[in-house]
Amino acid sequence: MTNNPTGMEIPAEMRAFAEKSVGEARKAFEGYMDAATKAVGSVEKSAENIQANTRDLGRKAMGFAEDNVHASLDFIQKLVSARDVQEVVRLQTEFAQAQMKNLAEQAKSLGGSAAEASKAAYDKATKG
């Protein structure tokens, strides 16, 4: 006689099925965790790339700002040395034209850099 007080024994086939199910569930979970870990690593790498690109854009923008301030100070220096109103108008016109050209070039440069950074981040994210 068995030591089972209820008199009901779990069949060996049922125990084997349950053990197999637990093993398969463990294997599926490990696969899921492996995929999740790889996904997190990919996201972290993308975030690092985005931060680096953002820093580069910030540095470029600060360089442009510095250039613009220097140009403004140079303009002011010329302006205070002007001899008459006509010279003031000429200096102002030249400065405005030069700054509009510079700003257009700076915007184009920043836009191009931002587009390149976005494309690089997208490529890395989609290619793993």
DSSP 59-123: HHHHHHHHHHHHHHHHHHHHHHT--SHHHHHHHHHHHHHHHHHHHHHHHHHHHHHHHHHHHHHHH
Name 57's Cβ contacts closer than 8 Å, sequence gap at least 6: 110, 113, 114, 117
Residue 7 lies in a domain: no
Give the per-residue pLDDT at 73. 94
Q: In tens digits, what is the pLDDT along the chain, a chain of 128 residues?
A: 456 666 678 788 888 888 888 889 889 888 888 888 888 777 777 777 778 878 888 899 999 999 999 999 999 999 899 899 999 999 999 999 999 999 999 999 999 988 888 887 777 777 75
Give the per-residue pLDDT at 1. 45
**What predicted TM-score, i.e. pTM, was given to this entire model?**
0.60
Please state, in angstroms and rounded to a whole number, the distance separating the CA atoms of residues 39 and 37: 5
Name the DSSP letter for residue 11: -
| Domain that includes residue 68, residue range | 12-127
Residue 44 lies in a domain: yes
Residue 4 lies in a domain: no
The tally of domains found in the chain comes to 1
| 94: its two tokens | 């030249």
Residue 3 lies in a domain: no
